[in-house]
Amino acid sequence: MPAVLAIAAHPDDIEFLFAGTLLQLGKRGWDLHYMNLCDGSRGSTVLTEKECAATRLEEAKASCRVLGASFYPPIYADMESIYTTSNLKKVTAVVRQVKPSIVLTHSPQDYMEDHEIACKLAVSAAFSHYMPNLVSDPPVDVYSDPVTVYHAQPIGNTTPLGDPVFPHFYVDETEVIEQKVQSLACHASQKQWLDESQGQDSYLETLREMSRQVGRMSGRFEYAEGWRRHQHWGFCGPDDDPLRDALADIIQEGVVPKPLS
Could you tell me the residue ranges of all domains in the chain? 3-253
The widest CA-to-CA distance across the chain, in whole angstroms, is: 55
- Cβ-count burial of 163 within 10 angstroms (0-12 exposed, 13-18 middle, 19+ buried)? exposed
* Dist CA 169 CA 177 (whole Å): 18
Give one DSSP letter per residue of 208-227, joined into a string: HHHHHHHHHHHTS-SSEEEE
Residue 153 contacts residue 107 (beta carbons within 8 Å): yes
77-126, pLDDT tens digit by residue? Answer: 999 999 999 999 999 999 999 999 999 999 999 999 999 999 999 999 99
Q: Nearest CA to 4 among 109, 152, 112, 141? A: 152
3-253 is classed CATH 3.40.190.10: no
Q: Nearest CA to 6 among 83, 76, 75, 100? A: 100
* Dist CA 210 CA 173 (whole Å): 12
* Dist CA 174 CA 223 (whole Å): 5
How do the pLDDT tens digits run along the chain, 261 residues long? 999 999 999 999 999 999 999 999 999 999 999 999 999 998 777 889 999 999 999 999 999 999 999 999 999 999 999 999 999 999 999 999 999 999 999 999 999 999 999 999 999 999 999 999 999 999 999 999 999 999 999 999 999 999 999 999 999 999 999 999 999 999 988 766 666 655 555 789 899 999 999 999 999 999 999 999 999 999 999 999 999 999 999 999 997 655 554
Beta strands in the chain (DSSP E): 3-8, 31-36, 69-72, 102-105, 148-152, 169-172, 224-229, 251-253
- Tally of CA atoms within 13 A in the half-sphere of 98 that contains its CB: 30
